Amino acid sequence: MQKPGGLLRYGQFAGVFLGLFLLGTAILAASGAWHSALTGYPDEAAHYVTGLMVHQYVTGGDWRHPVSFAENYYLHYPKVAIGHWPPFFYAVMAAWMLLAGTSSQSVLLLQPVLMALTGTLLFSALRSRTGPLWAALAAVCLLLLPACQQSSTQIMSEPLLALLTLLSALAVLRYLETGSASSLAWYSLSCFLAIMTKGSGLALVGLPVAAAVFSLRFEKLRDWRLYAASAAAAFLSAPWTLLTLDMVRNGMDVRGMTLQVIAEQAIAGLRLFFPGLGPVLAPLALAGMAFHAIGARTAPRARDAAAGTAIAVVVLACAIHILSPNGIELRRLVMAVPCLIGLAAAGGFLLQRRLNSSWPRLPRWLAPGLVAALFLITFPGILEKPGRALRQFYLSEVSPRLKPGIAVLVAGEVAENVIIAETAQRSPRPGLFLVRASKLVSDSDWSGLDYRLRLATKEDVARALDEVPVNLVVIESGGVRVRSYKPDHDVRLVAEALRQPGSPWVLAATGRVDAGTAGPSALQVYVREPPLSNPVRLRVSLHRSLGRELVRE
């Protein structure tokens, strides 16, 4: 029979989760994300379409040919990214779609669930160490920090990775404190799933050793199980990592990695510390690290494994992104934010304890209350997600013109993301073909580097549109390119091909909208008059990632 104290404890955790989930949902609603297109980050549309593809594969009933299914889905909706990214986030997304539906709005609701779970775990870990007030403050701050807000209002893998990172850290912490072999098994599982969520999870392979070192538990380094746990996570993830290595390399510019670049990225990472945590939490996190360092030297028997483990997570997360060709940015460090906030709570608690030793009559709520007030004073507010006008333009000017079986060309980076994602969520089982100008007219790697034209003239483009045949074209122009190093010659050539004398293309609609991270953009919709009724024939070059073409004859 469950003890009453245990029931109360579980009830408290359930209450914390519910409160955090409601807060996350309120942030989602206030940001306008439910009514906006998927323009928060360039990868958002690809994540959504890939999760939708996995859902359609699972519910389709024919599981014999997963690769063929994914390739066929890509021919219709060319934003399938499994292989470039690992599969676990898409498996979680597909499972969520079974419960909540396939719309982007329902998938967005998954993000506050994941952040609430992370916040509840953080509260649980801190409650016995800092008290419930500091623990609750840390959990709330986790959801309100701008970097976490953005992750909660976008269909991105960072919230899931942050949850799995914290689970890995807590499992390692339990091992350091108890020597439990089962804790190492839980670490291996969490680390494996983190790697299967995003490549950044590879940083956690070194967590047991790093945590033992930063906690000064050097005796643990003699335990073979410590290394076996890391090896198990690496071994389990190795098949997928090796199988998709060429696809992942397609999105990395390894040629530019020099010692100077690594040093610059390290400096950039340091500069993200205060903006990432804010003017209140950043000094407290530094205080938490300082107390750990001082305590480890002056009182070796009181070595804090929790602080050491948190510091290890932060160091490893920064290190993998400093050494990564993709560079370091605040979004990529969200995986370490729960541990940083935990250090801030510990720093605040230890400062409070010192104050109480000098002024014992000070109420215990004063220090966390003061920190909460300062945090709210410096709080930038709810960040609005752009892209509402883009979705409205799609619904009014593009969607009514989409017919089953036709081919639609989309030119422009943001337009490609939006048109493909919006069409996919309204027709999860595809009946038409969306063609990206960045694939038909040009060629580049995942990030837009090594750009070159496949069709050199407007006449070449016009012939290609006839051969497919394409009957509808959407062009985006005038915005600030999200990847500024990527030329937009493909967009220019498509526009010139449509405006040639004697062209069958008629301008049907125009609009000027906020294209999310690209800023204001002009959109034009062209229709072919009269339309061509030939069967659609496509050849999509994926030589960079798959080493071959996808063909529909």
* Extents of the domains making up the chain: 14-43+81-378, 388-552
Q: What's the pLDDT band for 513 if we cut at 50, 70, 90? A: confident
Q: What's the pLDDT band for 7 if we cut at 50, 70, 90? A: low
**pLDDT tens, residue by residue, 33-58:** 999 999 888 899 999 999 999 999 99
Q: For the chain, what is the mean pLDDT? A: 90
**Can you give the pLDDT at residue 358?**
86
DSSP class of residue 62 equals -
Answer yes or no: are the C-beta atoms of 184 and 225 closer than 8 Å: yes
What are the tokens at 151? 């992750």
Report CA-CA distances (Å) from 237 to 88, 323, 402: 11, 20, 41
**pLDDT tens, residue by residue, 269-298:** 888 888 889 999 999 999 999 998 887 665
Reduce the DSSP state of residue 550 to 3 states and report it: strand
Q: How many CB atoms lie within 10 A of CB 449?
A: 16
* Cα(452)–Cα(487) distance, integer angstroms: 9
* Cα(248)–Cα(446) distance, integer angstroms: 9
pLDDT at 76 over 80: yes
Sheet (strand 407-411) strand order: 433-436, 407-411, 472-477, 520-528, 505-514
**pLDDT tens, residue by residue, 309-359:** 999 999 999 999 998 888 788 889 999 999 999 999 999 999 999 988 888
**Cα–chain-centroid distance for residue 161?**
8
pLDDT at 10 over 80: no
**Cα–chain-centroid distance for residue 406?**
32
* Cis preceding-peptide flag for 87 (omega within 30 of 0): no
* Cα(225)–Cα(228) distance, integer angstroms: 5
Q: What's the pLDDT band for 486 if we cut at 50, 70, 90? A: low
Answer yes or no: are the C-beta atoms of 288 and 296 closer than 8 Å: no
Render 380-426 in DSSP notation, one character per residue: --PPPPP-HHHHHHIIIIIGGG--TT-EEEEESHHHHHHHHHHHHHH
Report CA-CA distances (Å) from 234 to 60, 225, 499: 32, 14, 55
Q: What's the pLDDT band for 1 if we cut at 50, 70, 90? A: very low
What are the tokens at 319? 């290190």
**pLDDT tens, residue by residue, 147-200:** 999 989 999 999 999 999 999 999 999 999 999 999 999 999 999 999 999 999
Evaluate the CA torsion angle 277, 280, 286, 287 in order and state its sign: negative
**Can you give the pLDDT at residue 253?**
62
What are the tokens at 512? 């000027």
Report CA-CA distances (Å) from 191 to 127, 204, 338, 341, 438: 24, 6, 16, 21, 36
**Can you give the pLDDT at residue 547?**
82
Mean pLDDT of 360-385: 91
Helix H or strand E encompassing 552: strand 548-552
Buried b (16+ CB within 10 A) or exposed e, 478-503: ebebbeeebbbbbbbbbbebbeeeeb
Mean pLDDT of 106-111: 97
What are the tokens at 535? 């069967």
End-to-end Cα distance, the chain: 66
Mean pLDDT of 517-539: 87
* pTM beyond 0.85, yes or no: yes
**Can you give the pLDDT at residue 405?**
93
**Can you give the pLDDT at residue 2?**
44
Mean pLDDT of 242-259: 76
Q: For residue 317, which amino acid is it?
A: A
Report how many helices (DSSP H) and strands (DSSP E) the chain contains, helices first: 23, 9
Residue whose tokens read 């998709």: 244
Helix H or strand E encompassing 354: helix 337-358
**Can you give the pLDDT at residue 522?**
87
**Can you give the pLDDT at residue 448?**
73
Could you tell me which residues come within 8 angstroms of residue 152 by beta carbon, excluding any fewer than 6 positions away? 24, 27, 28, 111, 112, 115, 143, 159
Longest Cα separation, the chain:
87
